[in-house]
C-alpha cells in the first residue's frame, strides 16, 4: 500500500495528510504559498500514484480557512485528479467545511462543485 503523505501546516501553507491505510484525506488551514505549484507538486505526484491502486472509497475533507487564487487553481487540479477515480467507478466525495457566515469559502466550494464531476458535501461547521 502507498505510504501516506503528510505536510505540516505553516502560516502560509495548509496541513495535508493523505493516508490511504487509515482512509484519511484532509487539507486544512490557510493556503497562500509563495509558489503554489512547487508546494502542491509532491501532492499531485502522490495522487498520481494513489489512483493506480486506490481505496474503494475516498472522502477528502477540505477545512480551509483561506486560500489565494493560485491555491484555488491547484485545488481544482487536485480535485480533477481525484475525479479520474470517480470515472473509473470508485467512490469519491469532497467534504467542504466552512465557518458559519464565511460566504467566500462556501461560494468557492459551490464553484468547485459546479465545474467538477464529483460530489461535494457542503458542511457548515457548528
Contact 59, 25 (CB under 8 A): yes
Query: Between these two residues, 35 and 126, which has the higher pLDDT value?
Result: 35
What is the rounded average pLDDT of the residues 100-125? 96
Task: Output the pLDDT for position 1.
Answer: 82
Q: What is the pTM of this model?
A: 0.94
What is the rounded average pLDDT of the residues 79-105? 96
Contact 2, 53 (CB under 8 A): yes
Model confidence at 119, pLDDT cuts 50, 70, 90, reads very high
Model confidence at 9, pLDDT cuts 50, 70, 90, reads very high
Share of the chain above pLDDT 70, in %: 100
Q: How far apart are CA 14 and CA 39, in angstroms?
A: 10
The mean pLDDT of the chain is 97
Contact 84, 47 (CB under 8 A): no
Give me the sheet containing 57-67, strands edge to edge.
5-7, 15-19, 24-31, 57-67, 91-98, 120-124
Closest among 48, 106, 53, 115 to 82, alpha carbons compared: 48
Task: Output the pLDDT for position 72.
Answer: 97
Q: Which three cell numbers stand for residue 53?
A: 491502486
Alpha helices in 2-126, H assignment, sequence order:
36-50, 69-87, 103-115
Amino acid at each position: 500500500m502507498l505510504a501516506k503523505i503528510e505536510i505540516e501546516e505553516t502560516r502560509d501553507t495548509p496541513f495535508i495528510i493523505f493516508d490511504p491505510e487509515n482512509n484519511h484525506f484532509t487539507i486544512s488551514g490557510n493556503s497562500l504559498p509563495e509558489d503554489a505549484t512547487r508546494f502542491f507538486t509532491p501532492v499531485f505526484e502522490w495522487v498520481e500514484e494513489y489512483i493506480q491502486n486506490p481505496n474503494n472509497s475516498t472522502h477528502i475533507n477540505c477545512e480551509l480557512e483561506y486560500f489565494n487564487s493560485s491555491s484555488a487553481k491547484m485545488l481544482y487540479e487536485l480535485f480533477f485528479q481525484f475525479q479520474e477515480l470517480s470515472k473509473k467507478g470508485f467512490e469519491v466525495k469532497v467534504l467542504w467545511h466552512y465557518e458559519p457566515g464565511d460566504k467566500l469559502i462556501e461560494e468557492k466550494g459551490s464553484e468547485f462543485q459546479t465545474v467538477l464531476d464529483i460530489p461535494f458535501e457542503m458542511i457548515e461547521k457548528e
